[in-house]
Amino acid sequence: MKIHLSVLVFFLMGLVANAQAGDKPESFLKQGSHLVGGSFTFSSAGDTYYENTDGDRTQEWIVRPTGGYFVADNLAIDLHIEGRWFIQGEVLNSHYSMGPIMQYYFDVVGDDEPKGHAIPYLGLGYLWGLAREDRADSELKFKSGMWSMGAGVSWMLSNVVAMDFELNYQTGEFTEKIPVDGVSRDANRISLFLGVKAFLP
């Protein structure tokens, strides 16, 4: 876990260090420009897959690197990769998922420079994943499919780099593969992603 966090921190520091505060990029939110970023997040998850033996929601931490491309003005397709880990008593649970997210950014910048603006956006996508649950006397494996819906704001620290805040809701199911193939459990989660995002030509 500490290794994953160190890699993410150095990655985000590199984005900030390399950001330029010059003129407004011609490709800002325009077709053909790129996105890259990442976040470290706290999540509260519920429903039958996530609940513990007392019926309480599971609390966990998440690492999420992202990268994308603007396929049209203000509209980007982002690839999200998520790594989640939690320990609940003697149970160690890990979940890795990835998938495309379509994000629409509302251009509130106009002819101004991006720096200092808060740019709202909406996102919708689908994530496929694999989960593993290790207990003292058994091992469970699942495949997952989750719809992801988010609303966020990118607050521009410079003309390139933004602090990113996203409220995200995911809903779907986990299908058991080991030890019983085919048993499904519903799942949902609410997450607040806090991270850094760079808009690049």
Distance CA 194, CA 188 (A): 19
Of 23-27, 105-109, 181-185, where does mean pLDDT reach its minimum?
A: 23-27
Of 14-18, 65-69, 122-126, where does mean pLDDT reach its minimum?
A: 14-18
Q: Higher model confidence: residue 172 or residue 93? A: 172
pLDDT digits (tens, 9 = 90+) for 154-165: 999 999 999 999
**Mean pLDDT across the stretch 33-42?**
87
pLDDT at 124 over 90: yes
- The pLDDT of residue 134: 82
- The pLDDT of residue 27: 60
pLDDT at 1 over 50: no
> Where do the H-state alpha helices sit in 29-69?
47-50
Which amino acid, 72? A
State the number of CA atoms in the 13 A half-sphere of 32 facing the CB.
Answer: 4
- The pLDDT of residue 3: 44
- The pLDDT of residue 175: 93
Confirm if 68 and 35 have CB atoms less than 8 A apart: yes
